[in-house]
Structure 1
Amino acid sequence: MTTTSYSSLPSDVADRLRGIELPDPLGFGRLMAPVMSIAYHRDGAWETPRLTGLDPLPLAPHTQALHYGQAIFEGMKAYRNLGTAFPGSPSMLFRPYEHARRFNRSATRLGMPELDERVFVHALEELVTALEPLVPGQQGQSLYLRPTMFGSTADLSVVPSTEFCFLVLATPSDAFFTAPISAWIERHYSRAGAGGTGAVKAAGNYAASFAAAAPLRENGFHQLLWLDAVEHTHLEEFTAMNVFVRRGERLVTPPLSDTILAGITRDSLLGLGPSLGLRMDEEPINVHELTDAIRAGEDIEVFGCGTGAVVAPVELIGDESGLRLPLPARSTALRLRETLLDIQHGLTSAPEGWQWPVNALPDTPQA
């Protein structure tokens, strides 16, 4: 790791960063960066986000978000710049303005104030710049970023909060899944219903999946594969990823609705697929037709995609009935993963706005 001078940072922030070393192996979320960005919304306006130490927050026991779940988050990453197109920028954000827009859609759905997209992105840039030595250098690794907003008013009234806290946390990490995964078809619980919060990153969406995930641990599976809430016949998404199915040269993902999250990685793969000779379609995927086709030996791949996982091939599909269907084909998923990582690390060109270089501090040596 480079030896860095932090003279351009506040002294309390700089002190937190001295002597920090990356763990080996990185894992996912093993080391929280000791610095975060924070801002409060009071009296109808946002403060300017500022860097501060990663310390406990002063929350009253009757803080609104703790009781009524008015909380949202984003998942995104800063990558080491391994290319030559952006000299002087050791790190890269991936599609930060798309994440800002999705963050605001989540805020609107939960009755929370939007944050100016430029302020959102600047808070990311400032934090990543300060944490530049914690951005790992191997392809596929990243500084995972967690922008978060929650209602911070201390009030038990069942009304929207009037004060809010915005945070950006960071943790140097490997991809969430570094090997092929197994998928468990969830046939009873539903991830989201029409008109609910399934299309946004509401914190409660994830808490609601925890009880359903018990069979994963008991049977050695990695991710729940959710079906629609009405008939339980069509794929929706994984708990932490969107889903794609390849049959021949055709790549299909369920169409967006108010029960499916508009994944940034999902959208990126839809844009990249044609350049790899794939026909990309958005249409419903019947779970019975899919499992029958796998049993019949068709050329099929299933994979998940998301910020944390990038692209995660599925090697086994199962359920409570004893269904166990191996999926040996994974070449398309791996090719898409490699293509996307090359873009995220600045090794190849990308559509405008996808690659967002982050400059180093004036006194930060280049890695």
Structure 2
Amino acid sequence: MTIAHTSSELSPELLNRLDAIELTDPLGFSKVMAPVMAVAYYRDGAWETPRLTGLEPMDLWPHTQALHYGQALFEGMKAYRNLGDAVPGASALLFRPFEHARRMNRTALRLGMPELPEQVYVETLERLVSAVDKLVPNRQGQSLYLRPTMFGATADLSVVPSTEFCFVVLATPSDAFFTAPISAWIERLFSRAGPGGTGNVKAAGNYAASFAAAAKLGEKGFHQLLWLDAATHTQLEEFTAMNVFVRRGDRLLTPPLSDTILAGITRDSLLRLGPTLGLDMREEPVAVDEVIDAVRSGEEVELFGCGTGAVVAPVELLGDDSGLRLPLPGREVASRLRQHMLDLQHGLIPGPEGWQWPVPKS
């Protein structure tokens, strides 16, 4: 399936809705939704060609399978305003879109859903971003957040995979998720994912399973949960919406991938970029108590999260049920990596082939 690009796929009514939107700071997250979305259905064993349409309610039967059995996934990615000369001729840039397409397909296969051709995925994003180009913010760190979603659309209460599916891409101008260092609460009771489950893919239900544990964050004044392994609750795994890195001296450690840890695109990017910046990047198990003891002893330690939404988020405070509150002394490496990533994403410096994907203005 090949998608042809046209100068404008939007009706006059949609163009008017788009023109009426003015971006003002702060953008927040999902406060302003693009009035255009992309949508495609999978029926009779094949995907329809995705089309751009107005953002509007979708007709779903109450017995649609995704509502009952959680056969749903999503990806999170961004379009950045091209602010430099590293990628000439592009109005906006997608960051590693084919990697996101591959990860979505890995999730789809794990949940019994059909793969979407990678080229169709990327071209659909190109069309949507090009059509709503005016909503791509011009400030470094801000972006047009994109939410590709797929769900089982068959109306049937039978406990079997759907035979019809819907693929939707939404867009919303967004600030950086975290603009200042964050605080993290060590979750020692609940588990985010178990061996053999869906912790290594972006199944929608993974996030619902974190809500009960996250409810206490606001009461305690913390931003993110830091999850431990389900078997022993001794090893770092990841944050709710980010992978985790720990710097001890000159080594940067991140837990090795498993069936309980999501293969983050930003995580992979940092592991690849780190050595080019003179950093010693290692995939090794990280015991939570070793991190706590290192901080208590005065060792030079950094802890930070990384992901599409946050890019890189330094942690300045740790807490857990024992009342522990540990200030982490440094964040110079996290800040350096964050700035390097933003420079790449906004086209201010050249990146590896295929990482900075150009989107021309429609």
TM-score range, shorter chain: over 0.9
Is the partner of 1:159 in helix, strand or coil? coil
Distance change (3 Å), C-alpha of 1:147 and 1:7 = closer
Distance change (3 Å), C-alpha of 1:7 and 1:253 = closer
Q: TM-score by structure 2 length?
A: 0.97
Q: Is the 8 A contact 1:16 1:35 kept in 2?
A: no
Q: Is the 8 A contact 1:303 1:312 kept in 2?
A: yes
Structure 1 segments, 4+ long, off by >6 Å, are none
Deviations along 1:238-275, whole A, 9 cap, x unmatched? Answer: 00000000011100000000000000000000011112
Q: Is the 8 A contact 1:180 1:314 kept in 2?
A: yes
Deviations along 1:211-259, whole A, 9 cap, x unmatched? Answer: 0112211100000000000000000000000000001110000000000
> Pairwise mapping of residues 9-88 of structure 1 onto structure 2 (< 5 A)?
9-88=10-89
Does 1:97 find its partner at 2:90? Answer: no
Distance (Å, rounded) in 2 between the aligned partners of 1:286 and 1:82: 40
Q: Is the 8 A contact 1:23 1:31 kept in 2?
A: no
Q: What displacement does 1:29 show?
A: 1.7
Does 1:196 find its partner at 2:193? Answer: no
Hey, what does 2:3 align to over in structure 1?
Answer: none
Q: What displacement does 1:12 show?
A: 4.2
Deviations along 1:12-39, whole A, 9 cap, x unmatched? Answer: 4323312211132111221111110000
Q: What displacement does 1:7 show?
A: 5.4
**Which runs of no fewer than 5 residues in structure 1 stay unpaired?**
1-5, 362-367
Distance (Å, rounded) in 2 between the aligned partners of 1:358 and 1:71: 28
Q: How many residues align?
A: 356
Distance change (3 Å), C-alpha of 1:97 and 1:7 = closer
Q: Is the 8 A contact 1:151 1:164 kept in 2?
A: yes
Distance (Å, rounded) in 2 between the aligned partners of 1:347 and 1:269: 17
Q: Is the 8 A contact 2:9 2:131 kept in 1?
A: no
Hey, what does 1:186 align to over in structure 2?
Answer: 187
Q: What displacement does 1:207 show?
A: 0.3
Hey, what does 2:121 align to over in structure 1?
Answer: 120
Distance (Å, rounded) in 1 between the aligned partners of 2:27 and 2:211: 25
- Percent identity between the two aligned chains: 75
Q: Is the 8 A contact 2:87 2:356 kept in 1?
A: no
Deviations along 1:133-173, whole A, 9 cap, x unmatched? Answer: 00000111100000000001110000001100000000000
Q: Is the 8 A contact 2:90 2:361 kept in 1?
A: yes
Deviations along 1:260-307, whole A, 9 cap, x unmatched? Answer: 000000000001111221101001000111100110010000000000
Q: Is the 8 A contact 1:249 1:277 kept in 2?
A: no
Distance change (3 Å), C-alpha of 1:350 and 1:297 = same
Q: What displacement does 1:328 show?
A: 2.6
Hey, what does 1:258 align to over in structure 2?
Answer: 259
Q: What displacement does 1:8 show?
A: 5.5
Counterpart residue type for residue 297 of structure 2: A
Is the partner of 1:125 in helix, strand or coil? helix
Counterpart residue type for residue 125 of structure 1: E
**Which runs of no fewer than 5 residues in structure 2 stay unpaired?**
1-6
Distance (Å, rounded) in 2 between the aligned partners of 1:276 and 1:354: 17
Deviations along 1:102-130, whole A, 9 cap, x unmatched? Answer: 00000000000000000000000000000
Q: TM-score by structure 1 length?
A: 0.95
Is the partner of 1:147 in helix, strand or coil? strand
Distance (Å, rounded) in 2 between the aligned partners of 1:153 and 1:119: 23
Q: Is the 8 A contact 1:175 1:308 kept in 2?
A: yes
